[in-house]
Structure 1
Amino acid sequence: CWNCSQIIQKSNGLFCGNCGKLLEARTDNYFKLMSMDEKFDLNVTVLAKRYRELQVMVHPDKYCNSDEKERQNSMEWSSLLNKAYKILSGPLERGEYILNQKGIILPHDNSTLDQDFLQEIMEKNEEIEATDQNSIHIYLAKVRATLYILNESISDMLNKGNYDEAKTCLVKMKYYKSLEKTIKERMHKMELNSD
C-alpha cells in the first residue's frame, strides 16, 4: 500500500484492507472491475447501477480534503471507471474488448470484408443521401434490424468460441453503426425524430 506500506492481502481492489486508503487505479479486466460476468450478453441496467455505486465510492469530490496521493488515485479511478463503463455498455465496443482480451484485434481498414459487402454499404450510403422524409424512417428501421441480427450473431459466435466469425460480424456492425449515425444526422437536418 502506498500509505501504510503493508502488503495488500485483503482488499476489494479499491481500498487497502489495512489502512482503508484508496489504492492506485489498476485493472486487467473491465468485467472484473465492474463485477460483471465476462460475456457479451450482459444486463446494461445492472452495469449502470454498478458503475454508479463504484463512482460514488471513488468520486474526486469525496476526496477533496484528502492528501494529494489519494486525490490523484480518486481521479484515476474515476477515469478508469468511465472508460470501462463506456466500453462495456456498447455492444460494438464490448465485443471488440472481448476479442482484444483474447489477443484478437479488429482491423482498422476494410481488408477483412468482401467487396460485395463494401459495395452494398456504399450503395446504402448513396440511398440514404438521396432519400426523402417519407422513407428515411424505413431505412433507419432496416439498419436497426440488421444491427439486431448482427448483435445476436456476435453473441452466438462468442459463446461458441468462433472468434473469427465474431470478428467479421463486429466489423460489419461497425459499418452499420456508421450507417445508423448517417441516417440520424440526415434526420436531424430534416428536423425529424430518430428514436
Structure 2
Amino acid sequence: MAFRAPSLARNLCRQTTSRSLITPTRSISTNPTQRDACKCCRLPTRAPARTLASLSRDICSVSPVSGRRYASTKSSAELTGESGIVGVPDITNYYTIFPQTIPAGPPPASPFSISVSDLRREFLQLQNKIHPDKYPSGDMKQHAEALSARINEAYRTLADPLQRAQYLLREWHGINVTAEDAATKHALDPETLMEVMEVQETIEEVGATREGEAEINALKVENDGRIGVCVGALAGSFDKGDIEAARKECIRLRFWYSVGEGLREWEPGNTEIRLVHGS
C-alpha cells in the first residue's frame, strides 16, 4: 500500500534513533590491497542497507552536537603535547586541516565545491606523516592515533557534499538539521515530500513486474539528476552566503540521498525500497 501524505510526513520526521542519516558505521580503504591497513587510514564505504521504515527515523535522526567548533575540545598542542610528532596540521577546524586544498577556508571565502582528488591527495600525505605505526607504544602513539582519527573524520566530512553542508551549517551557523528537534525546525517542503511519495508509489506498482528493473533503473537516473541539481543549488547558496537557502537545500539533499541509496539496494521482485546510511 502506498504511503499517503499525512502518515508519510509523520513517519519521515519521527525521532527514534541517535544515528545521523549519513554517519558512517565503518571505514575501509577504497584500495582492495589496503583492506588490512590500520583503521586510522581506512577510507569510508557504504553502510549496510536498511528498510524503508527507517527512512523516517534516519532522515530526522538525532546527532550529538557539542555546540562548539570541533577543535574547541582539543587543540593541536593538546593532541601532540611533548610527543615530538612532526607535520601536525592546524586542527582549528576541518578546513584548516587541509590548507593546500582549501587555503581560504570555508565558504563564502572559498567555494563550497571541493576537488575531492586534491583533498584525498592531501589527506594521504597527512596520514603518512603522522601514521601511528611510525611511533612506539605509549603517549606518542596515542597522540598519533588521535590525530589520525581527527584527520580521517575531517576527510570523510569534507569529501561528501551532504556531510560538508551539514558540518558548515552546524559549526558556522548554529543550524543542526539532524538534531532531535529537526522534525519541527527543519521539515521537508511539501513539493519534495510529494516527489518522495511518488517514487515509493512507483516502486510499489512496478517492483514485482517484469518491467520493474527497467523502471527502477530509470528512477535511479532521475534521482541522480535530482541530487546533482540539489548539490549545485546548495553550492550556490553557500557561495552567496544565503544560509537559509542552503539549509533548505541540505534538507532536500538528505532525502534524495536516502532515496538514492534505497534504489541502489533494490532487488528484482521487491515492492519497496530499502534505505541505507549514505557515505
The TM-score range, normalised by the shorter chain, is 0.7 to 0.9
Per-residue CA deviation, residues 92-125 of structure 1 (Å, 9 max, x unaligned), is: 0011111122222225444332334223212212
> Quick one: which amino acid aligns to residue 118 of structure 2?
V
Identity %: 25
Per-residue CA deviation, residues 68-91 of structure 1 (Å, 9 max, x unaligned), is: 111000110111111001100000
Q: What is the CA–CA distance in structure 1 between the aligned matches of 2:205 and 2:118, rounded to whole Å?
A: 41
> How much has 1:29 moved relative to structure 2?
0.9
Please name the residue that 2:268 is paired with.
190
Q: What is the CA–CA distance in structure 2 between the aligned matches of 1:163 and 1:41, rounded to whole Å?
A: 16
Higher helix share: 1
Please name the residue that 2:149 is paired with.
79
Please name the residue that 1:113 is paired with.
188
Q: What is the CA–CA distance in structure 2 between the aligned matches of 1:127 and 1:162, rounded to whole Å?
A: 35
Structure with the greater alpha carbon radius of gyration: 1
Range that drifts further, 152-161 or 116-125: 116-125
Please name the residue that 1:104 is paired with.
175
Q: After TM superposition, where is structure 1 displaced by more than 2 Å over at least 4 residues in a row?
A: 11-16, 23-28, 36-39, 107-117, 128-131
Please name the residue that 2:200 is paired with.
125
> How much has 1:128 moved relative to structure 2?
2.9
- Which of 19, 22, 25 is the equivalent residue of 2:85? 22
Q: What is the CA–CA distance in structure 1 between the aligned matches of 2:268 and 2:263, rounded to whole Å?
A: 10
Query: Which sections of structure 1, spanning at least 5 residues, go unmatched?
Result: 1-10
> How much has 1:47 moved relative to structure 2?
0.2
Please name the residue that 1:43 is paired with.
115
Q: Please state whether the residue corresponding to 1:49 is helix, strand or coil.
A: helix
Give yes or no for contact 2:234–2:250 (8 Å, CA) kept in 1.
Answer: yes
Distance 1:157 1:122, change over 3 A: same
**More RCO (CA 8 Å, sep 6+):** 2
Query: Which sections of structure 2, spanning at least 5 residues, go unmatched?
Result: 1-75, 207-211, 270-279
* 2:170 aligned with 1:92: no
Q: What is the CA–CA distance in structure 2 between the aligned matches of 1:13 and 1:31, rounded to whole Å?
A: 19
TM-score norm. by structure 2 comes to 0.56
Q: Please state whether the residue corresponding to 1:32 is helix, strand or coil.
A: coil
> How much has 1:25 moved relative to structure 2?
8.9
Q: Please state whether the residue corresponding to 1:46 is helix, strand or coil.
A: helix
> Quick one: which amino acid aligns to residue 197 of structure 2?
M
Equivalenced residues, count:
175
- Which of 247, 251, 259 is the equivalent residue of 1:171? 251
Please name the residue that 1:6 is paired with.
none
